[in-house]
Every structure is written in C-alpha cells, then in structure tokens.
Structure 1
Amino acid sequence: MAWIKRTFVALLVVFLLLAGAVAWLLAGLDVNKYKPQLEQLAAEQGIALKLDGDIGWQLWPNVALELQGVQLAPLPQPEQPLVRADKIAVGVALMPLLKKRIEAQEIVLVSPQIDLSVDEQGRGNWELLSEAMEAQQQQAEQQPPKLEIPEDKPKQDLHLALEKLRIEDGRLNYRDDSNKTEYSVEQLRVAADNLVPGGEPGMVEASARISGSALQQPVDIAVDSTLALDEGLHGLRLQPLELSMNSGEAAATLHLRGHVRRSAADQPWQIQMNVDADVEPLRPWLAVTGTELVTQSGAVLQKLSLETSVEGTERKLDLTPLQLQLDDTVFAGSAQLRNAEMPGLDLNLRGGTLVLDDYLPPPAPEAKQPQEEATAATEADAEPVPLPLTAMRGFNANLDLSLERLQAVELQMDRPQLQLTVDNGLYQLQKLSADLYGGELSSNGRFNARGKSAEAELTGGLADVEISQVQQALFPSERVQLSGKATINWAAQTSGSDTLQLQKELRAAVQLSSDQLSLAPFNLEKGMCQLVSYAEKTPLPERDWPASTRLQDLRVNIAIKGDKATIQEVLAGVENIAVTGDGVIDLEKQEFDFALGMALVGERTSADGCTVKNDRWRNRPLPLRCKDSFADAGATSCKPDSRRLDDLVRDELKYKAEKKYGDKVQEKVDELKDKFKGLFKRD
C-alpha cells in the first residue's frame, strides 16, 4: 500500500505546483489595464460603462475575470443606467492564458437588472441609448483617417470565443407611463452552451417568472432548445425549441424547428420555421389575464392549437399550410403577413361545424323590474359606444372564411362564406352567403371608417326561406306564428361615430313576398265577416273560425327609419278577399299598428264563409285595424275600424236616401241652399 501513498503525495505536489504556477501567472498579469480599454470601447459605441470595483480573478470552479458593480447607460445620461449587474464573470481559456493572452470562453452574469420605461409621450428610454450609439457612429465617420504606427510590443487583446453563457437571478422591469402598465421578468436563469459561430449545435435552457398589471397571477416560462449559430452570425438554427408557459391550471406549449439566416450583412433575413402551439386548457388563461367572459356553454374554450409552416422574410411571411383548432372545430387554409408601410393580412380558412352560440354570453334572465329600474336600464342600454375608427384604419386585409355549418343567434346556416377586403379603413363585404332553412342568403356591402364618422351600406336578399324557422330563431313568440316560404330583399344605409348614431340614422327599404304564408292567431276572413255584419246589421255566421289566415301572393314594402318600421304597402289575397293596407312597427316599444282594407271579390268570402248580399260592399275596401304589442298579440288584435267604418255606413245611408227619393231630395236641397243664401245676403 506504500505505493498508493507515494502516488497520492506526488499528485498533490504536482497539483500544488500547477496551482502555484497559475497563481504566479495571474499575479503577473495585470487585468485592470483592460478597464480603461473596455470603458473607451463602450464610449465609442455611445455607451457609458461604469465598473465600481477592480477587475479580479476567479480560480474556482474555473479561471475567470470578475467585474464587480457593472452599469450600462446612454453616454449623454450616464446617471440613468439601463442595465445593472452585481457581478460579471468572464471565463478564459487556460492555454492562451499561459501565454499571457486572454480568450473569453464563458460569461456569467449574476443578478443582472434591466430597466426599460416609456414616458407619457411614448418615448422609450432605450431610444436614448440607440440614438447615442448612432451619434457616435456618425461622429466617427466624420473624423479624418489616422495613420496607425505599429508598436514594438504586441498588444494583449481580449479575444471573445464564447462557448457558454450563464445568467443567474436576472430581472427585467418594464413601465409604460402612456397607458399605465407595468411588467417584470424575475428569477431569470439562462444556461447556453457552444455559442461559437460555425460550431456544433449547443443546448440552451432558460426559465423566468413574468408578472404585470394585465396579469392577475404570475406566469412561469421555461425554454429548452438545441440551437446553432452560423459563421459570421448570419444565421440561427433551432433543432428544435420548446417554450412552455404555466400559471395555476393554465398551460401552453410552443414548438419551433427551422432556421433564420441571411447570405450577407446587407441582405434580408430569410425565415423558415415549423410552428406548433397548443393552449390546453384555454379557459384558465382568461382568469390569468383578468378577462371576464361568461359563455352559454361551460364545455367550450378548452383547447386552442395552431400548426403551420412559416416561410419568408421580415417583410413578408407565408403561413402555408395553416391549421387552427378551437375545441372540436378545425380550420385549414393559409395566411400571409405583410410588414410594409401599410401592414397587411391575407387569411383563407375552411372549417367544420361551429356552434357560435356556445361562446356567446347567456341571455339575460327575464325578470320583472320596477318601473324605475326598467327606465334606468333602458337609459343605460341607450348609452352610445364610440366606434374605434382610428383602430379600424392603418392596415389592409383580405379574408375568405367558410364553414360547413354555423349556428349563431339560434340560426342554423349551412355552408356559410364570408369574403371581406379592408383597404386602410374601407371595409368591403364582397360576399356573405349561406343556405338558411331551405333558402339562400346573399348579401354585400361596405363600411367606410376613413372619416370622422363612419358610413355603411348593405344590400342583399334571402330567397325561399322557411319563415317559421327564422321567426323561431330570431323572434320567438307563443302568440304570433308565421309559416311558409318567403323571399326578403333589403337595401340599408346609415352613418355615425357611435352605435346610437348608427341606429338613429338607419334608413332601409325591405320587400317581402310569398306565394303562401300562414299567419296565426289572426283570422282575417272572420274580420271581414265582422265588418259585413256590422255594416249590414246582420248576425255573424256561426262556425268554427280557425285561428290562422293563409295569405296568398303576399307583397309587403317596408321602410325603416331609426327604430321605427313603416309598412308602406301590403297586398295579399285571403280566399276571395283582396287585402291592402299599411302600418307601423315600433321596434323600441315592441308594438305594431296596421290599417287594412278588406275587399270582397264575389258574393262569399269562401266556400264556407259569410255571404255579402249588398253588392255595394263588394269590391270595396272595408277597414280592419290590427293594433297591439308583440307580447299581448292574439286573436282580438284585429278588429273592425269603427271610425272609418262609420264613415262608410253614413255614405251608404246617403246613397240609399238619394236612390229612394231621387230628384225630390235634390230639389229640396237646392231650395234650402237658396234660402240660406238669402238669409245671409248683405247689401
């Protein structure tokens, strides 16, 4: 065992000799002479570098230079540092060090802190640093060239061949006084290996915690990547990169694989990257960001994913193919992003079935409120919401979106398609189409947000739609029921700078037509018989009157002005009755008022209807008035218009009197007229 002891002692002696040699070398190498050189190099770049302490040596765990109390600031304002670090250790290669030449291979930053801020005018403090750097560069370009005479002794330069980078307990603070927001990145840790350009790929690991004014709770992020730098720092390869984010139950991951490179320093960057992002579960992120979103279904907002291939430059990126998934709905297509003077977006997506109602807020409970509360609620609802006209300008877009099926506001649409173009605030609806309850929806329009107020136009039609299903979806009512095929055409325009003005300035013309339309619970034939019974003083026929009316060849012209819809003309046939009329619908008060004229063609209203004996009542519009609220509408909403009907009865009585007495009545009338003239005659 003696040889083991002797070997151990020999190794210890060798280690002590080596340590002594290294210590002698370090003692003889004055690294503080680089301090003015470092500060001067930084000043030439427009950066004020401040080192509070001397540059020292670190012997364990590896040989390194230590810089204490490092601060970086814009050269014009050295008292406002952007970057601080308690200690920066620069690891050096041992063999060049034995030749008294320093080659930096590793950099360790301990407790670095970066403070970024934006003032109320939107100016960032880092702009001072960039402006100072540009000013120093311009000043250097204006200086005449200097003749450099080589020195007799070789100069000891600081050579950077960085293989490792370490950041321990870093912190980044960001404050924006223009919108009163603050963010901070804490517990920043970075470990990167093999950062030598042109070398083999190296490992990069990083982690941090992010908090801020827009976050209700901190978010932990972690990065794990294999990357490589191209020669001359002209490229970066990710093989791959994985970013994970977590906050409580919220989780998200991002995978990147590809490269970013350029052929020369004056050439644009070329990007080719495969992107795969998953956010699952999605709903907890709403709580993290403080977003209050209550949906009709609690089963939605569980998953959001994106998968695409990105290719292009910093000026234009193509995302082809592009696949998005929101819960169970998958969208496939392509996109293009343009970073030009006028930013742009092209988006083409085709999707499956989307139940939009599940993502909308639940309907308000139908609870009766006191009159005072109801009035206050109405006034609150009437508060105008300004249109974000400025935000709607400054970009271009081309959108082409379609689905197999869409369920929205209780409407079920098959094969809906939306084509929209945006040109710096001018929105043009090129196409809005869908199959809707057996009919076809087709519409187009424009929305101009370039001025101080918006201008909008919309035209379109809905052909051969089953009106009962549309009514059930949009205007459900247990009292008033519509059924049958109908065609609706519209042309509308409005203008304004807020939602209230848009509603107030709305002007629209709507035409509705139907060959057969059933209307319940109104029976217009019964109303016609009531008119005849009232006029002829005859009893109403006893029969089982159905609580509905079948309208034939219905034509309705509607004019909308603000909240009120005026029925300018109604033309229809009910059995042997011709119906004409007009009316008003008050959407705000939810009331209607129609004045109809019922003209009988023939002797009977129908085969089992009532008989009109007096031919004077045939082919003559008899007045019927339908007036009620939507909530109370029923069989009694349509009644004979007694005021207008009394006028007709008086005319009929006058006609009968003239027919019976003939010329005698006229002679008597003329005689009375002469007497009255003589009575009031004046000289």
Structure 2
Amino acid sequence: MKGLTKLLLGLVALVVILIASAGILLGVFFEPNDYKSDIEALALEKAGLELSIDGDIGWSVFPWLGLQIGQVKLQYPQQPALASLEQAQVSVKLLPLLSSKVEMSSITVDGLDLNLVQAADGSNNWSLPGAEPETAGADTADTADTADSATDAGAAVALDIESIAVTNGRIGYADLKADSRVQLQDLALTSGRIRQGEYFPLDLSFRLDQSAGEAAALSAATTLKAEVQLDPKTQQYRLRGLDSSVQLQLAALGEKPLELKLSGDVAADLVAQLARIDNLNLSLAGLSASGSLSVQDFAEPALGGELKLAAFNPRSLLEQLGQPLPAMADETALTQLSLSAVLGGSASQLSLKPLTLTLDDTHFNGALAYGLSDGAISLDLAGDALNADRYLPPQSDASQTGGQAESQAGGAERYSKEEVIPLEPLRSLLLDGQFKLQQLQVSGVTLSDLDLAVNARNGLVNASRINANLFGGTVRNSAVLDVSRTPVTLKSSKTVSGLQIGDLLQALDGAEKPAMTGTLSSQADISAQGRSVHAIVNSLNGTARFNVADGTISGIDMAQTVCQGFNNLASLGINAEQVDGSTPFANLGGNFNIRNGVISNDDLQATLDAIGLKGKGSVDLPRALIDYRLGLTIQEDLFKQSCSVNNKIQGVEWPVNCKGSFDTPPAQLCRPDLSVFEDLLKARLKQDVQQKVEEKVKEGIQEKLGDDAKQLLKGLFGN
C-alpha cells in the first residue's frame, strides 16, 4: 500500500511538471496576436458579430491561466456599434481547477461601453438581424435549466477571487421612436477578496442621465457601499450595512439637487424563494421613512413588510420640490404629516393595510391599495375631525374672489364657459374609494358623520353616497358623472330631511336673526350636460319637491303689509307698529319641474298665521330672472288683538308679485299688488253708502205711510 501511494504521488508530480512545461513552451512559442483575424472571422461565422481587436492579446498558462485584451469593438452588421472595451484582464489559478476550486487574481475591466439602440421600427442593435425571438416556453425551460445548472455548479465549484475592478464604464439606451435616452456613465465598481460564504466589501458609483428629445429630464449621481456575501452552494446572497446616496436633479424641480439616502440589510434565499430588506431607512428632503420589505415566491410574488413615515412638514417638502403652495387661511396648516402601515400585495398590487395617517390635528385609519400595472386605487379611510377652512385661501382673498365673481355676474355672461371638468384624467381614473369623517368644517358650516363612496371605471364616475348630517337634519346624495362620451353627462339625486334652515342661514351669513327659519325636507332628481358651469346651468333638467314646516320668514311681513294697506287706504284705525315683523307659517311646500335651466312651479302652498298662501311662476337660471306670483287669502280675523279685519275681506286672495333679477334686493323683489286693496275697499265703501241711502229712504217712507208700508219696502229693498 505504501508503494502504491508513492507511485500515485509520483504520477501527480509528473502531470504537474508536464503541464508547467507545456505552459512555458506555449508562452514562448505561441503568439496569440497572430490569430486576431482568425478570431474575428470565427465570431462573424458562429455568432454573426463583427469583432474588431485593435489592441494586443496577452495570455499565460501556468501557474495562472490568464488573458489580457484591449481595444475591442463589437457590433452586428449594418447596425449601430454595440459595445467596446479599452482593456480587460482576468486570470485563474490552474491547479485548483483540478479540485473544483476557482482561484482568480484581480479581474479588471476598463472602458466598457455598452450602447443599446431601439429603432423606430422596433428593431434593435443587440439582436441578430432576422433572428426570431424565442418562445416564452423556451425561455422558461432555459431559465429552469440555467437555475438547475447554477445550483449544481454552485454545489461543485468554490470561488476565490482576489478582487474585481470596473472603471470608466458606460451603458446607454436610446429609444428612437419615443425620442428618449438613458445613460449610465462613470460606472465604477471595486470589491475586496471574494470567497464563498464570506463577507467582502463592495463599492459602486455611477451617474444616471435621462432625457426626452433635447431636454434633460433627470440626473442622478449615485454611490453605494455594502458588505456582500455570496454562497452559490446554498443559493443565499446578502448585503450587510447597505449605505447608498443619490444626488437627484429633476428638470421639473429646478437646478437645486435633492439628496436621497437609503440604508438597510438585504438577504435573498433562492432555494426558499425569499428576499428581504430589513432595517430599511430612507430619507429625502426632510422626509424620513423606516421599515422592512419582503418578497416570497418569485414566480407569483407575495409582498410583505412594514412602513413608518416619521412626522414631517409637507409644506416645506413641496417648496423644496419647487411646488410652493397657495396661501392658506391658517399658516400652520399642512405642516405635519405622519404615516404607518403594514405592507402587502403581489407583483401587480401594493397595499397598505392597516394604515394610520395623521394630518396636522386630524387622524385617519383605514387601508390603501395601488395597482402597479394599471394604476387602480382602492381607498378606505375614516377620520375624526377636519377643519377644511384652515386650508382654504385667506378671507381677504376669498372676498376678492367673490367680488370678481359678482362683477362678472353683472356682465354679459353670469356663468363661466371655461371647461372645468377634465376629460383624460377622469377617463383613465380607476378608483374604488370610501371616505368617512366624524366632523368636517367647511365655509363655516359644520357637517357630521360625513360618508362618501366613489367608484370610477372607464370614464364613469359613480358617487353612490355623498351623505352628511348637519343642522339637525340629514343630507343623502348620489351622483353619476359620465365622461366616456360627448357631451359629458351628470345625474344627481338628493334627499334632505329635518334640516333647520335658520341655523344654516345663520352659519352662512353670520346674521343674528336669519331671514328664514323652519324644518326643511326635500327631494330632487336632476341631470345636466357639458363641462362648464354655463353649459350645465343651461342644460339642467329634472324634478324637485320641498316642504318647510313650522317656520318664519323675516323681512317680508305679509300681515303687516296687509294691515298697513288697509290703514292707508281706508283709515281703519290699525296700529301697524304692533304687528309682528315676520311671517310665521306652519307648512310651506311645492313641486317643481326643471327644463333647460328654467324652474317652474304651479302648486306652491303654505299655511301662515290666519293666512293661506298659494304661488306659481318660474325661476330662469340662465337669464337669472324671477317671475313668481304669490296669492294670500285671509282665512280668519287677522291678528285679532292688533289688526282687526272685517269679515268682508275673508276668503279674498291678495296677490304678491315677485319679479326681477337675482341681483334685486329682497325688499324690492316681492311687493303686494295694492290695486286689489283699493278695489276691495271701494266696493266696501260703495256698499256702505248704498246701505245708508236705503236706510234713509226706508225711514222716510215709513214715517209717511206708517206700518202699512213695511210690506212695500220689503219688496223694494229685499229686506
């Protein structure tokens, strides 16, 4: 056995000596540069590539199997240049290969230039002209075979590379059809000693430039440092202590660059098909985020993780991004925002559920999902209290805007013809959202239990719920906006129940005494067409009905007006100052038809205090005109204590005409038709005079004829 061992060792030594001698002889007697033309011809014949080697080829066999080459160019015939290389050098130790070990010296690549071009007709310069693309099935099979081969190789081969250095690298991609370009320049990569299962340092830097046409769109200078572990045997790969920085410059943000920093630990297990990023930290212009991210099952990825966005100032961030905000009523509004969520989803969708969001003093909870392939948004948020008035323009700006609107209203066009409904954003919108707020303040009005539900697909925006409670009542709305066709159509249905009109008017105008009080209930179904306010108003159609119970109207005092009219015309001795300065009513309601912006009604009814009211007429929204007639009927002795009225006028309808434009002051808009008062009183006076004449004649005849004349008088005067 001992002799056999010596024999084997001797044979191994002999093989080593022979290989070493052959390497020395090849290095002395074989000159590779003499075969440049043969190598170039072989590349064209076998791969269809035009290979040009302008530099020297150096090589060695023992103890290192090495290759050094320079000034190489590569392209397909009659295609733009594909790649070029200034210099590359690689060598592997020969003897360790016999025991399935790969020990390499430093790998150096200098001046690599990869130029990818997509032509306007869809062809490119990195594929052989006329070659048919491989089928998806073949790709899948090849990928599987490659993975299996890599696994087998990883299990059999151990790597040991002294270092890798890539300098002066450049990768460019041009899409001539889209007239866009992306360039990766100043690419540099260096590493420490690479051994299987051991961490080694890695440094990477490059500059990325993107342009559209002649205009630069993006520029990013990137640096990355990490400790990397490669273990092909177990198919596990890790980056520890990842620290990267990007100096980002966007044309839309001006010349000032933004710094983006990313750090964390990355791990990938190809056997378990799991990739993770832990201890993730991201910062950008005052924005700081932390969390983790995982991907399970590479074929059908399942995303997971956590995200926490520390409180930051959105106002300052937008200003740094070149997007300053308009003035707001509250300068401290939109100065604090924070977010935390659990990440989930798939390769086609990213979800944040549960989601917690804080905006200034308002807290939201819910879920958010975003479709990565189609941009679909699914939103379900519920919040506590939001004061929207803080985010609106300051009062002075709002007043100025209102003044401009009023000025325009007095001009030729009361309603703007500017198209305010955008088509393309709404047609491409994919949204399924629900939004709830316990309390919302807007324009001085406080709404509670706000509930919105919106669905948008294929240009059809369906707001199935626009609900809220306010001023003791409920508002239930729904609306459908269809922008998929021309003209744009809008349909809306609204139901109001139990709303206190006085509280609403008082909140809107701030007056101590509202112009009207009562409990409002209404229902309306309307439709319209067009994209501007002018078009919508002129195409308004539908029906509506309303009822106001137990209310009063201030400033239009029917009772006082009636009494004052009698006092002026007939001197009935009425003290008008004692009459109440408002008009109480038990019920006020009617039905309305709307045709092309004209609202008409012929059944308005109200039960006032001792007065019945009926009305009919129209309101012309396009022309901003009112033509309405109210009829008042005294049903009993009107305000007996302060305005005693003779029974003769009971049951007579007293008209009040409301006619004018929307700009007419209310006191001048509605006035009683006093001619009725005058005609009625004249008839009353005529009747009184006739009665007195009859009484005098009767008295005279009776004195002369005595009791025998009674029968005659009765026949003459009827009593």
How high is the TM-score relative to the length of structure 1? 0.71
**Distance (whole Å) between structure 1 residues aligned to residue 271 and residue 600 of structure 2:** 75
Q: Deviations over 1:191-216 (max 9, x none)?
A: 24316251444232221222223213
Partner of 2:497: 463
| Alignment CA distance shift 1:365-1:357 (3 Å) | closer
**Distance (whole Å) between structure 2 residues aligned to residue 233 and residue 129 of structure 1:** 37
The DSSP-based 3-state class of the residue aligned with 1:138 is coil
Partner of 2:204: 167
Cα contact 2:552–2:585 (8 A) shared by 1: yes
Q: Deviations over 1:228-262 (max 9, x none)?
A: 2323795432113222112xxxx112324132243
The DSSP-based 3-state class of the residue aligned with 2:427 is coil
Q: Which moved more, 1:274-283 or 1:585-594?
A: 585-594
Q: Structure 1 residue 588: deviation in Å?
A: 7.3
Q: Structure 1 residue 286: deviation in Å?
A: 2.5
**Distance (whole Å) between structure 1 residues aligned to residue 44 and residue 682 of structure 2:** 107
Give the letter for the 2:364 counterpart. F
| Alignment CA distance shift 1:432-1:531 (3 Å) | same
Cα contact 2:520–2:549 (8 A) shared by 1: yes
**Distance (whole Å) between structure 2 residues aligned to residue 208 and residue 54 of structure 1:** 38
Match of 1:224 among 248, 252, 263: 263
Partner of 1:187: 221
Check if 1:304 corresponds to 2:337.
yes
Partner of 2:186: none
Partner of 1:152: none
| Alignment CA distance shift 1:465-1:116 (3 Å) | farther
Check if 1:203 corresponds to 2:237.
no
Q: Which moved more, 1:225-234 or 1:365-374?
A: 365-374
**Distance (whole Å) between structure 1 residues aligned to residue 251 and residue 505 of structure 2:** 46
Q: Structure 1 residue 399: deviation in Å?
A: 1.8
Cα contact 2:53–2:72 (8 A) shared by 1: yes
Give the letter for the 2:244 counterpart. A
Give the letter for the 2:330 counterpart. S
Q: Deviations over 1:295-332 (max 9, x none)?
A: 22211111233322222321344432122222222211
Match of 1:442 among 438, 460, 476: 476
The DSSP-based 3-state class of the residue aligned with 2:560 is helix
| Alignment CA distance shift 1:370-1:39 (3 Å) | farther
Q: Structure 1 residue 335: deviation in Å?
A: 3.2
Give the letter for the 1:224 counterpart. S
Give the letter for the 1:552 counterpart. A
Identical-residue share of aligned pairs (%): 20
Name structure 2 gaps, 5 residues minimum. 1-23, 60-65, 140-158, 165-193, 695-719
Partner of 1:486: 520
Cα contact 2:82–2:115 (8 A) shared by 1: no
Q: Structure 1 residue 131: deviation in Å?
A: 7.6
Q: Structure 1 residue 270: deviation in Å?
A: 2.5
**Distance (whole Å) between structure 2 residues aligned to residue 124 and residue 303 of structure 1:** 50
Q: Structure 1 residue 629: deviation in Å?
A: 6.8
The DSSP-based 3-state class of the residue aligned with 1:392 is helix
Give the letter for the 1:270 counterpart. A
Name structure 1 gaps, 5 residues minimum. 1-23, 58-63, 143-156, 663-683
Cα contact 1:96–1:102 (8 A) shared by 2: no
Match of 1:244 among 272, 278, 283: 283
Check if 1:138 corresponds to 2:175.
no
The DSSP-based 3-state class of the residue aligned with 1:214 is helix
**Distance (whole Å) between structure 1 residues aligned to residue 485 and residue 72 of structure 2:** 52
Match of 1:623 among 641, 655, 661: 655
Matches within 5 A, 1:37-52: none
Matches within 5 A, 1:323-334: 323-334=356-367
**Distance (whole Å) between structure 2 residues aligned to residue 167 and residue 470 of structure 1:** 65
Matches within 5 A, 1:274-285: 274-278=306-310, 280-285=312-317
Match of 2:629 among 595, 600, 607: 595
**Distance (whole Å) between structure 2 residues aligned to residue 46 and residue 555 of structure 1:** 88
Q: Deviations over 1:541-564 (max 9, x none)?
A: 343333322121111434455666
Q: Deviations over 1:263-291 (max 9, x none)?
A: 5xxx2222222222346111023222335
Check if 1:322 corresponds to 2:351.
no
Cα contact 2:40–2:52 (8 A) shared by 1: no
The structure having more radius of gyration, on CA atoms, is 2
Partner of 1:549: 583
Match of 1:271 among 294, 303, 310: 303
**Distance (whole Å) between structure 2 residues aligned to residue 508 and residue 658 of structure 1:** 55
Check if 1:391 corresponds to 2:425.
yes
| Alignment CA distance shift 1:436-1:270 (3 Å) | same
The DSSP-based 3-state class of the residue aligned with 1:500 is helix
Q: Deviations over 1:620-678 (max 9, x none)?
A: 2111234577777465654322466677779989999999999xxxxxxxxxxxxxxxx
Q: Deviations over 1:128-159 (max 9, x none)?
A: 478879957539989xxxxxxxxxxxxxx999
Q: How many residues align?
A: 598
Cα contact 1:110–1:167 (8 A) shared by 2: no
Cα contact 1:519–1:550 (8 A) shared by 2: yes
Considering only aligned residues, what root-mean-square deviation do their CA atoms show, in Å?
A: 5.3
**Distance (whole Å) between structure 2 residues aligned to residue 117 and residue 302 of structure 1:** 46
Q: Structure 1 residue 402: deviation in Å?
A: 1.0
Cα contact 1:43–1:49 (8 A) shared by 2: no
Give the letter for the 1:335 counterpart. L
Match of 1:257 among 285, 289, 292: 292
Give the letter for the 1:300 counterpart. A
| Alignment CA distance shift 1:612-1:324 (3 Å) | same
Partner of 2:561: 527
Cα contact 2:620–2:626 (8 A) shared by 1: yes
The DSSP-based 3-state class of the residue aligned with 1:484 is strand
Q: Structure 1 residue 422: deviation in Å?
A: 2.6
Q: Structure 1 residue 40: deviation in Å?
A: 10
Partner of 1:78: 80
**Distance (whole Å) between structure 2 residues aligned to residue 302 and residue 43 of structure 1:** 67
Cα contact 1:107–1:164 (8 A) shared by 2: no
Q: Deviations over 1:437-469 (max 9, x none)?
A: 111122223222222232222112121112122
**Distance (whole Å) between structure 2 residues aligned to residue 225 and residue 172 of structure 1:** 22
| Alignment CA distance shift 1:69-1:347 (3 Å) | farther
| Alignment CA distance shift 1:48-1:575 (3 Å) | farther
Q: Deviations over 1:562-613 (max 9, x none)?
A: 66654544311221111111355566787755421110012x2113242332
* Bigger relative contact order (CA 8 A; separation at least 6): 1
Q: Deviations over 1:80-133 (max 9, x none)?
A: 88xx9x9898898889999999877998999999999999xxx899x9478879
How high is the TM-score relative to the length of structure 2? 0.67
Cα contact 2:590–2:603 (8 A) shared by 1: yes
**Distance (whole Å) between structure 2 residues aligned to residue 43 and residue 337 of structure 1:** 50
Cα contact 1:480–1:634 (8 A) shared by 2: no
**Distance (whole Å) between structure 1 residues aligned to residue 441 and residue 297 of structure 2:** 47
Cα contact 1:90–1:108 (8 A) shared by 2: yes
Give the letter for the 2:381 counterpart. L
| Alignment CA distance shift 1:446-1:44 (3 Å) | farther
**Distance (whole Å) between structure 2 residues aligned to residue 290 and residue 612 of structure 1:** 71
| Alignment CA distance shift 1:235-1:460 (3 Å) | same
